[in-house]
């Protein structure tokens, strides 16, 4: 079994690593150009507790269904 992100059997670890770095760089550049389209990321002080399951589910459902996100 390969870790998430390594779903292309024809690429090496280094190729997968470079692909993921490039994808992340494109996403960061897009987010900086379009801050109004980026989802708010909930935060709190380290060690002060955890987010409720409802907040986690809300955040991830928004993040994964946002049609404005780049491909």
Q: Is residue 46 domain-resident?
A: yes
Q: Is residue 36 domain-resident?
A: yes
Terminal alpha carbon distance of the chain = 25
Note the pLDDT tens digit of each residue in 28-49: 898 899 888 887 777 777 778 7
CA–CA gap between residue 41 and residue 60 (Å, rounded): 10
The answer to whether residues 42 and 51 touch, using CB atoms and an 8 Å cutoff, is yes
Domain encompassing residue 52: 13-65
Q: Is residue 24 domain-resident?
A: yes
**pTM of full prediction above 0.85:** no
Q: Is residue 7 domain-resident?
A: no
Q: Is residue 6 domain-resident?
A: no
Q: Which residue has the higher pLDDT, 66 or 17?
A: 17
Give me the number of domains the chain comprises: 1
Q: Is residue 34 domain-resident?
A: yes
Asked if the model's pLDDT at residue 1 lies above 50, the reply is: no
Q: Is residue 3 domain-resident?
A: no
Q: Is residue 70 domain-resident?
A: no
């Amino acid at each position: 079994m390969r870790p998430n992100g390594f779903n292309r059997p024809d690429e090496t670890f280094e190729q997968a690593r470079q692909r993921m770095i490039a994808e992340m760089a494109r996403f960061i550049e897009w987010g900086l150009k379009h801050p109004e389209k980026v989802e708010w990321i909930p935060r709190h002080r380290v060690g002060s507790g955890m987010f409720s399951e409802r907040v986690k589910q809300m955040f991830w459902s928004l993040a994964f269904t946002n049609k404005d996100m780049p491909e």
